[in-house]
Amino acid sequence: MSEKKIEVIRNKIISIENYPKDGIVFRDILPILNDYTAMSYVLDVFEEHYKQITFTKIVGTEARGFLFGVPLAQRLNIGFVPARKKGKLPPPVISETYNLEYGTDTIEIQADALNSNDNVLIIDDLLATGGTVNATYNLIKALGANVEHAGFLINLPALGGEFLLNKNNLQTFNIFNF
């Protein structure tokens, strides 16, 4: 990874303390999207890391996984599949419900979006507890596709998501740890 590129990207991530609630440090990545060079550098870093692996699809998790997943899929000349919250995709879909800190949520993928010929890369902006990506992993496997890799702009190691995903033999890559 080019240190210059990493520095440009890092300088665009704004840390906001006590947002959205007390005790949380929110990492605002929106300035990256507003800067052509920074966004290009993010895609360069992901492309460089994954260029030796042949993927057929990227699955991006709602909603910020779309922001990096779609342009990366275009760069890699492969398709993009959205993993969305319940009720946002036309049927038929398959669903996976997963636990949140206070309650549950459900994520869905269209039932015909992947098959056993697919080798999938999961892309999201942030790895925290890993619940959403783990549910996405389960959906991909349920459709018979292969998935061994997940990429993130940011990992929050203290929240344990990387450990959870690694238990499923999902190799994680992130540009930053906070």
Mean pLDDT, 10 residues at a time, the chain of 178 residues? 93 96 94 98 98 98 96 98 98 95 91 98 97 98 98 97 95 98
- Would you list the domain boundaries of the chain? 53-177
Tokens read off for 103 = 């309650």
pLDDT for position 1: 67
What is the rounded CA–CA span in Å between residue 166 and residue 174?
Answer: 13
pLDDT for position 154: 98
Entry field: residues in the chain: 178
CATH code at 53-177: 3.40.50.2020
Provide DSSP, 34-100. T-HHHHHHHHHHHHHHHTTS--SEEEEETTHHHHHHHHHHHHHT-EEEEEEETTSSPSSEEEEEEEE
Q: Which amino acid is at 96?
A: E
Residues 6+ apart with CB under 8 A from 4: none
- The alpha carbon of 122 is separated from its chain's Cα centroid by a whole number of angstroms, namely 5
pLDDT for position 100: 80
31: cis peptide before it, omega within 30°? no
Q: 176 and 153 in contact (C-beta within 8 Å)?
A: yes
The residues assigned a catalytic role are 64, 101
What is the rounded CA–CA span in Å between residue 82 and residue 24?
Answer: 28
